[in-house]
Amino acid sequence: MRAASLASVLLLVFLSSASAQALRDLRLAFVGDIMAHNVNTRMSDYQDIYRGVADIFHGCDLVAANLEFPIDSTRPTSGYPLFNGDPAYVRAAVESGIQVFSVANNHAFDAGEEGVFQTLRAFAALSGAASRALTFSGIRGNQHRPFLPETRLVNGVRVGFLAVTQFLNEPDAGRYVNVVDYSDDRAVQDLLQLVRSVSPLYGLFIVSYHGDREYAQEPSPLKRAFFQELLEAGAHIVFSHHPHVVQRYEVVRVKGVERLIMYSMGNFISGMTWMLGPAHLRGAVAATGESYILMVDVRCAAGGCSVRGVEPIPIANYMNERNEMVVARMSDLAEGTIVLSPGWQEYFAGRLALMESFLGVAASPDQPVDRE
């Protein structure tokens, strides 16, 4: 495998300098799906989406999200079922503080191979204009180039980021999008071998995975087992999405190191709750309009990195004064910091209570699940 041979060469370089690495603490943040429904892309100012939470991002060393659409400026923007986003829509996410994007998801090939090529060009342009380095993973312009992790240097720590999707809505046969179905044992073993080969090159290694059943609030047993295998192969963090609703997270001790699984981060921003009213407190659709920002504290030393603390910050989509969908802390919506009608304030207070109860089943970072 080309990845394995590359890893063996670079590992010698990495190990020769690892002993000199100082103790470093990183503050990371992860969010779910950035969708581009028509109600989102018709906004007058895309930066409004992030104003209620951008202060959280600005205090982080790294912020990651799943970008669930191609970016092809040669075509009109479009929503479900075949998405196409506007570069300006993505620029607003970048300017809010998001620097790392998974672009491997079921909508990655909605615009075909030309959509992939245009997305690569769009990211090149966004990177050139951004004040901070951008990283994205999950697509390629050359089908003969292997899918290898992207690398960032964060406060002196080498961070690897690899994005994978379980399937595509429009078939690509793995040419341009990194597809690994966790029910395909051969594909899984190939991915695990890649992770084993390259993860020693990094102080912190993150795998982004897009898959599982939509709207399921519990992870499938097969996905849970697969994510555990990714940790055992060398991933420190598995960051997952696709169900459009929140699933739990857990801190797991593997080989003496505390690692993290996010089973599903839900939607960060979408138009799925556009027509929802405050009477729909417990409706199934309500869960698609909320998520959490997961703050992750990581400590890194010469031997690698370990998760030291995890803090979920519940968030929700709501309609601003221009009837546009934006994001805010759920506590600001529930407690009146953001002025809403009494019905909506009561709605978000109820949703916050449900979210806090749900997140209460997550493993405490001080008492990780031990799976050595």
CATH number, domain with residue 87: 3.60.21.10
Tell me the CB-side half-sphere exposure of residue 259, using CA atoms within 13 A.
28
Query: What is the tens place of the pLDDT at every residue in 203-240?
Result: 999 999 999 999 999 999 999 999 999 999 999 999 99
Q: How far apart are CA 68 and CA 136, in angstroms?
A: 12
Structural domain harbouring 165: 24-329
1 inside domain: no
Q: Residue 311, Cβ neighbours under 10 Å: how many?
A: 12
What helix, strand, coil percent values describe the chain, rounded to 5? 30, 30, 40
Average pLDDT over residues 248-274: 96
Residue 334 lies in a domain: no
User: What number of CA atoms fall less than 13 Å from residue 299's CA on the CB side?
Assistant: 5
Are the C-beta atoms of 124 and 87 separated by less than 8 Å? no
130: pLDDT confidence band, cut at 50, 70 and 90?
Answer: confident
Under the banding of pLDDT at 50, 70 and 90, the label for residue 20 is very low
Q: What is the pLDDT of residue 132?
A: 78
Number of structural domains, the chain? Answer: 1
For residue 346, is it within any domain?
Answer: no
Decide if 372 is inside a domain.
no
Let me know if residue 169 belongs to a domain.
yes
What is the predicted pLDDT for the residue at 368? Answer: 59
What pTM value is reported for the model? 0.91
- Residues 177-193, mean pLDDT to the nearest whole number: 98
Any domain includes 322 = yes
pLDDT reading at 60 higher than 90: yes
Residue 368 lies in a domain: no
Residues of the chain with pLDDT > 90, as a percent, come to: 84
Say what percent of the chain tops pLDDT 70.
Answer: 91
The answer as to whether 37 is a domain residue is yes
Average pLDDT over the chain reads: 91
DSSP conformational letter for 164: E
